[in-house]
Structure formats: structure tokens, C-alpha cells
């Protein structure tokens, strides 16, 4: 073999080897691109799935927040109605006519049993006369004092006892007893 034949053979072998290498490289490149595309699709699917899950979770949280806000709004409105019922009842008590007020005070005083002895009675400023009249009629030795903190009813203090029969105190007690029943009548 001549030198030129050897050179041609080397060149042909090199070209054949280069074709194989290029073919392998092209196949490897295609395989890598396919793997990248598959991984990209997989990541996109995972991302979309994650987004969908987060979106669904956010939507559920938003719905629950809206339901909670709605319940809170309704509860606030119910509370306002109940408060108004008791407020009107209280306002009705403190705005009784003189005769009605006197009857209520007499009934409250009649509910206290036993000999009261000398007592101090705290009464509303604008109902002082009715209070004096009731205690005088009941023959109770009472020192009647005006109390601007009482809008109706009275507080009585004697030897070893004190009763708060102010309308506010009585309404607070009745409210504790009746609030659930009133709410059930109004809203059920």
C-alpha cells in the first residue's frame, strides 16, 4: 500500500468514525431533547396540578371566610335586635306613668320580707316623690336619697342587708334569664 492509499484509508476511516460520532451525538441530542421535553411537560403538569390545588384551597378558604363573615353579620344583627328588645323594655319601665311607677315600686318593696327597721333608700332624682310616697304608705322608716345613677327602681340599705332593686339591675337579671328564650322566639 502506498502512502496515498494509507492516507485515503485513514481519511475514510476518520470520516466513517466522524459520521458515527456525529450520528451518535445527534441521537444523544435527540434523546436529551426528548427527556427535556418530557421533564418539562411533567414539571408543567406538576405545576398546573399544584396551582390547581392551591387555587382550590384558596377558593375553599375564601368561601369559608365568606360563610364566617355572613354568620358574623347575621349574629351581629340578631344581637342588635335582642339588645333593642331589652332596651325598649327598660325604657318602658323608666317611662311609666306616676301611678304605674308607684305600683311597681310598691310591688318591689312588698317582695322584701321581714321588719326592715331604719333604712336608707337611693331613688332616681325625678322619681323621688313617688318613692317617698310608697315607703311612707308601707310605714317603712326610710331616709330617701337621690341617686343620679339610678333611672328607675331603688336601692335599699339597712342593718345587715342591701337590695339593689334598680330597674337596670332587675333588667340585667331578667336578661340573663330570658335572652335565649327571646332569641328563640325572634329567630326560630
Average pLDDT in the 146-175 region?
93
pLDDT, tens digit (0-9, with 9 covering 90-100), for 97-119: 999 999 999 999 998 877 888 99
Q: What is the 3-state secondary structure (H, E, C) of 114-163?
A: CCCCCEEEEECHHHHHHHHHHHHHCCCCEEEEECCCCCCEEEEEECCEEE
pLDDT over 90, % of the chain: 39
* Paired strand residues for 165: 154
Query: What average pLDDT is seen over the chain?
Result: 86
Could you tell me if 119 and 143 are in contact, meaning their C-beta atoms sit under 8 angstroms apart?
Answer: yes
pTM value > 0.75: no
Angle, CA of 102, 172 and 77, to the nearest 5°:
120
Measured CA to CA, the distance from residue 145 to residue 155 in angstroms comes to: 10
Q: How far is CA 153 from CA 67, 90, 118, in A?
A: 44, 11, 19
CATH superfamily, with its number, for domain 97-187: ATP synthase, E subunit, C-terminal (3.30.2320.30)
| Euclidean distance between CA atoms 109 and 8, whole angstroms | 134
Kindly give the pairing relationship between strand 153-158 and strand 161-166.
Answer: antiparallel
Q: How far is CA 124 from CA 101, 150, 161, 181, in A?
A: 12, 5, 20, 31
For 140-154, write each residue's pLDDT tens digit.
999 999 999 999 999
Domain ranges (residues) in the chain: 1-95, 97-187
Assess whether pLDDT exceeds 70 at residue 14: no
- For 51-85, the pLDDT digits (tens) are 788 888 888 898 898 889 888 988 888 888 888 88
Amino acid at each position: 500500500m502506498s502512502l496515498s492509499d494509507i492516507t485515503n484509508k485513514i481519511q475514510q476511516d476518520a470520516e466513517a468514525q466522524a459520521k458515527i460520532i456525529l450520528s451518535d451525538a445527534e441521537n444523544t441530542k435527540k434523546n436529551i431533547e426528548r427527556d427535556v421535553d418530557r421533564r418539562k411537560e411533567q414539571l408543567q403538569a406538576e405545576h398546573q396540578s399544584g396551582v390547581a390545588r392551591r387555587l382550590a384551597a384558596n377558593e375553599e378558604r375564601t368561601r369559608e371566610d365568606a360563610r364566617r363573615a355572613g354568620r358574623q353579620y347575621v349574629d351581629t344583627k340578631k344581637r342588635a335586635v335582642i339588645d333593642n328588645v331589652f332596651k325598649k323594655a327598660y325604657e318602658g319601665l323608666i317611662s311609666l306613668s306616676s301611678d304605674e311607677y308607684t305600683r311597681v315600686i310598691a310591688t318591689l318593696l312588698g317582695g322584701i320580707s321581714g321588719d326592715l327597721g331604719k333604712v336608707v333608700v337611693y331613688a332616681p332624682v325625678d322619681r323621688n316623690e313617688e318613692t317617698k310616697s310608697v315607703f311612707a304608705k308601707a310605714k317603712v322608716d326610710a331616709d330617701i336619697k337621690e341617686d343620679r345613677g339610678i333611672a328607675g327602681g331603688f336601692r335599699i340599705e339597712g342593718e345587715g342587708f342591701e337590695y339593689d332593686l334598680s330597674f337596670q339591675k332587675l333588667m340585667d337579671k331578667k336578661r340573663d334569664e330570658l335572652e335565649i328564650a327571646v332569641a328563640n322566639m325572634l329567630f326560630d
